[in-house]
Each structure stands twice: as structure tokens, then as C-alpha cells.
Structure 1
């Protein structure tokens, strides 16, 4: 189960890994916390959306369905409303009733119920920073950890299904500094413009700590599926923008992996790993 804050996050974080596991016969479910209805229109070629957040919600639901088909995953909505990304100094208050303002146990309840229904062995989500400081990403982390820790406890969240304890919890690391540096150096060496230079300088200037990568999944063969899923989110992804700025041949040669951090494991495993199911699969499978 991959838990994400908004539609499009499942296509930009760990998407090729999920497509690989689907191809191997794994049942993969994406849980999407919000409808992404307050997301900005980030594709300059997309026509203006009239009708406010209700219209955007319907568009993004259709985009999500197309992305899920591209990856081969199942997908469920947790039913919360996008909090938006507050901007300004001081920051404005978050909208009433949004996901990030929901009490933790109320926000975690539908995910606990979904875990007990789907019964995943592995759950992936974001690290405590959210990957970047969007309030929904940070809340997604909190909700995912709460659900992972309590779904197997019969005394918690009574009436939401039979307890089920997932065995491993991972954090996505799609934009790790080590990957960005490797891609930046490969692009410069190929005399190509790199989109990563300012990111690296910004993160260094802000002294953002680099989290540990414990698990690398080889998935270059599924980069095309990831790209199809990204393009499905036409309101959010510019087909001429950042996500497609790297020639795929250079990406596949330089960094044919997606990176994860093993946060919790209830099974023995040896680090580093090359499989999210290490310690779970029967030996020799």
C-alpha cells in the first residue's frame, strides 16, 4: 500500500517501483488522502479551470483514474479536503475542515480501516518532513505512522475491521540529495542543462539533513509507465517541464533506481535492501 497526500504524488514518488511490483504480480493499492482540489494549475498549456475547488476535484479524480491505469494499481480515496499550500509572511491560516486541520485519530481512521480491509504487508509514505513542507504531506506522514502502529491493535479503532499489522513501513526518497547530485553531474558531463543545480544549492543553504537510504529498487524498465502516469495529471504536470527535463537514457544509466528508507520492520532483514519485501518473501522466491 502506497499512501499519498494528493493525486499526482503516486506518480512522482515511487511510481516505477509500484509498476514493477504490479508486473511481478503484487497487488498494489494507492491510498490518496485528499482530492487535490486546492492544487494550483501547474501546466501552463492547460486551459483555466472554472468552477472552483469542486470543478478541480472532478478533474483530478479523472486524472487519478488514468494514472492508476498507467501504473496498473488499485486506488482508494480517504475522503479529505486538500489544505492548499499557504504562502506569505506571516502564513495565512489553513482552511477550516481541511486535511491538515483534522484531529489525528479522525484523519487516521479511514486509513486504519483500509489497512484492515486490504491487509498489506508493506506500507510506503513520506518521512516526517513530508518530503517538502506542504501541510498535507506532513499530515500524510503522521496519519500513515498512526495507522501502521495501530491497525493491528484490537483495542484501537474498534469497529473498523479485523486487526491487521503490516510488516514493514518505508519512507519515499524520490528527491534525495545523492540522486540529485548524480543526475546533475551526469547532465553537466553530457553538456545538457540540469534542473537540479538550484535545488542542490537551496537545500545546502538551508542545511536540510539528508535522510538515510536503506533500500534501492531497480525499476528503469518501468520509467515509461511512470511517465505515462505523470502525463495523466495534466493539471499538475507540464509535459515540457521539470519531470521530463532529463533524457531517459541518461536517467536509466545514471540512476535506474527508486530510493526508500526502511522506518519500521517487524521481520528480520539485512541492509541495504533491493526489495521492499525482503524478509517477507519465502526464501528463493
Structure 2
């Protein structure tokens, strides 16, 4: 099955919190949107339990409700910067538990919702939007935040179930998504390449401690099958990051790498092709390889 010539291509990117869409795959969504693809970002939670991570932001809201409204307004500006549409699944942030032993998750949070209950509104969105391609996180969540792990479970469930007419009755006509990808924006390959390039240029790299920490934890590196060149869309990505003013320090980590150096040594965003219902050949340079009529690469 391939997209018909008259049919616009559609991409759905499923993320855990507002700001994740700007730090993971943002160049890709901006590029495809600019090229005429209909791009929908789906945000599972409101990010209500996120801390104020930008030291220059000042005092933040003192309640979950206030943080919820702040994060919604930031998300609106980020979507505008990327040129994409955005929808909320409506679940409540689980927070990142800390301590030994870890404390229990808060009652009613996203991480405690049964998978089929949490997937139902996403299945409904998939059936309404009818994406050809979906992106989300790998089974580890990319890092062990309960909402990221849950986001993977919910997105994978929706990918598998949306095309099955016997499942999730009452959520619209079945729609079979052609491809599912996992984001790999923080791979060790990327970190080492940029770290070494900055060292060679006599610049201080932000990735030294991160590389040492990842190596010490012996975190396995997953396979990247697909690289999308996004070097022409760094400005849109950066604009979306800055829109999340309570989370992203404009003088911080995300902006420590000169963009001309980044474009030279790592102009891509990487993905792992997890499932495909169309023929394609690896490696790919396009998430829609095999979906575009007559294209298989």
C-alpha cells in the first residue's frame, strides 16, 4: 500500500510532555511541514509536574493547575515555531520519581493508567488523522521516565490496533499506519561525533560528562536505520525550544554547539524503523520511503 498521488502525506509524532517535541525530532517535523506534509504532534500529558529548569525564568506557578496552563501556552508557541498542528491526550504528568527506594507514582497519573485506557484516545486520533507514519520513543522511553515508557506503550498499542476493526469500537473507522519509528536524537554516536569535533576546534564540549555517564551505565546503543537531514531547519527547532521558556535555558546545554559546526558534522536526526507495512530498503533518508508513490528508498 502506498500513498496516492493526490493524497497529502501525514506524519504523527507522539510525545510524553510539552517540550519533548522540540528536543526530539523537531527538525524533522519542521522540515516535513515546510515541504507540505500534514504534521500532527500528540502530547500525552500536560507536563504539570515538571520543574522550572531555566534559571533565568524566575518564579514559576505554585500549583499543578498553574503549571498546566503555563506549559499549554508554551506548547502553542512551540507548535507555531515548527509549523505543525498539536493535540493533547489529556493525561496528567507522573513526575520523575527520585530516591532509593523510589516513591510510588501519584494517583491518577499517566504512568498508572491501564495501557488500553490510555491508548483509546490515541487510537481515535490515529483513525481521525490517518497518519502514514508515526514516531515515538523506543521501549526504554529513551530514558527511564515513567511517562516516556508509557508513551512508547501507548503509541505502539495504537499503531498495532488502529487498523483492526475488532478493537476500540466507537473510535472511528480503522486506519492502518504504514510505518513506526523510534526517535534516537541522543545517541552515543552523535554525542561522540560532536564532542570530538568541538575538541578539535578548541571549543568546550557540553557532552563530556554525559558520554562518561552513559559509558559507566553501559546503556546499550540501539540501531539507527534512518537519517533525515534537518540542517536547514535548526532555526525552527531552536525557536521551538526557546518557546518552552520555563524548561529551556537559552544560554544552556541545547545551544552550546555552534550551528555551523553541527551542520557540518551531524546534520541529521536519527530514527529506528521499528515496524513497516510497506517495502523499503535500509538505510533510509526519508521517513516516507516506501510510502511515497513509486519510491522504495
TM-score normalised by the chain length of structure 2:
0.95
Find the counterpart in structure 2 of residue 90 from structure 1. Answer: 101
Deviation of 1:284 (Å): 6.2
CA contact (8 A) 2:289 2:295 kept: no
- Structure 2: how far apart are the matches of 1:221 and 1:193? 24
Q: Does 1:175 align with 2:175?
A: no
- Structure 1: how far apart are the matches of 2:61 and 2:30? 33
- Structure 2: how far apart are the matches of 1:106 and 1:47? 37
Equivalenced residues, count: 285
Find the counterpart in structure 1 of residue 13 from structure 2. Answer: 2
Find the counterpart in structure 2 of residue 15 from structure 1. Answer: 26
Consecutive aligned runs of 4 or more in structure 1 exceeding 2 Å deviation: none
- Structure 1: how far apart are the matches of 2:180 and 2:164? 16
Deviation of 1:27 (Å): 0.1
Find the counterpart in structure 1 of residue 269 from structure 2. Answer: 258
Deviation of 1:47 (Å): 1.6
Q: Which moved more, 1:46-55 or 1:268-277?
A: 46-55
- Structure 2: how far apart are the matches of 1:225 and 1:147? 29
Matching residue within 175, 191, 195 for 2:206: 195
- Structure 2: how far apart are the matches of 1:50 and 1:181? 37
Gaps in structure 1 of 5+ consecutive residues: none
Matching residue within 208, 213, 221 for 2:232: 221
Matches within 5 A, 1:91-130: 91-130=102-141
- Structure 1: how far apart are the matches of 2:294 and 2:153? 33
Q: What is the SS of the residue equivalent to 2:134? A: strand
Find the counterpart in structure 1 of residue 6 from structure 2. Answer: none
Deviation of 1:50 (Å): 3.1
Find the counterpart in structure 2 of residue 137 from structure 1. Answer: 148
Partner deviation per Cα, 1:223-272 (whole Å, 9 max, x = no partner): 00000000000010011110001011111111000000000000000000
Question: How large is the Cα RMSD of the aligned pairs?
Answer: 0.9
- Structure 1: how far apart are the matches of 2:44 and 2:177? 19
Partner deviation per Cα, 1:92-149 (whole Å, 9 max, x = no partner): 1000000000001000001000000000000000001101110000000000000000
Partner deviation per Cα, 1:191-244 (whole Å, 9 max, x = no partner): 111111111111111111000000000110000000000000001001111000
